[in-house]
Amino acid sequence: MNVTTETKDGALIHRISGRIDTATSKAAESALTAEVKQGKRVAFDMSQVAYVSSAGLRVVLLAAKLAKANAGAVVLFGLQPTVREVFAISGFDRVVSIQESEAAALAALGT
Partner 1 sequence: MPRSAPEVTALRLLCSRDPVELERALDAIEAHLREAGAATDNAMQFRLVAEEIVTNIARCAWPEGETHRFTVELAAEARPEGVHVRMTTVDDGVPFDPTAQAAPDTTAALEDRQVGGLGMLLVREMTDGQHYAREDGRNRFSVVRFFPHAATDDRGGD
Residues that bind partner 1 (CB under 8 A): 21-23, 50-51, 53-55, 57-58, 61, 64-65, 68, 81-82, 85-86, 89-92, 94-96
Q: Which is nearer to partner 1, 21 or 107 (CB)?
A: 21
Nearer to partner 1, 12 or 86 (CB): 86
User: Nearest approach, Cβ of 36 to partner 1 (angstroms)?
Assistant: 13
Q: How far is the CB of 25 from partner 1 (least distance, A)?
A: 10
Is the CB of residue 48 less than 8 Å from the CB of residue 17?
Answer: yes
Euclidean distance between CA atoms 60 and 92, whole angstroms: 9
Nearest to 72 by CA among 29, 102, 103, 35: 35
C-beta closer to partner 1: residue 8 or 26: 26
> Whole-number minimum distance, CB 21 to partner 1, in Å?
6
**Shortest Cβ 3–partner 1 spacing (Å):** 19
